Amino acid sequence: MADVEVTDHPEQTRYEARVDGALAGFVDYQLTSELSVLTHTEVDPAYEGQGVGSALARAALDDVRARGLKALVICPFITGWIGHHREYADLLYGAPKSTATD
């Protein structure tokens, strides 16, 4: 698994993943006052299978949580990723509020 650094680039409305300074992938998004719409994820073929997509999904969804928003996920990759990481399902737009305590 590569050492992936993910940063938000709000001026481009995307999160970018870099490996050793090289752009390895990105997630496009749109923001509203209540939602972060995650529209598209792309990973450079040279970095596929190295955890770049997972790092992008996790960072984007962690940011959604930190902002107190819900995620409207249009991107099939992130939809599938959430299916394997159910701890993020509560962020989905329309999901019931969590009753769990920390």
Residues 6 or more apart from 96 whose CB is under 8 A from it?
Answer: 90
- 89 against 2, higher pLDDT: 89
pTM reported for the whole predicted model = 0.90
15-35: pLDDT as tens digits: 999 999 999 999 999 999 999
Q: What is the DSSP string of 1-26?
A: ---EEEEEEGGGTEEEEEETTEEEEE
Say if residue 101's pLDDT is above 70.
no
- 60 against 1, higher pLDDT: 60
Average pLDDT over residues 66-84: 97
How sure is the predictor about 63, in pLDDT bands with cuts at 50, 70 and 90?
very high
The gap from C-alpha 63 to its chain's centroid, in whole angstroms, comes to 8
- pLDDT value at residue 1: 61
Sorted by where each starts, the structural domains of the chain and their CATH numbers stand as: 4-91 (3.40.630.30)
Say if residue 73's pLDDT is above 70.
yes
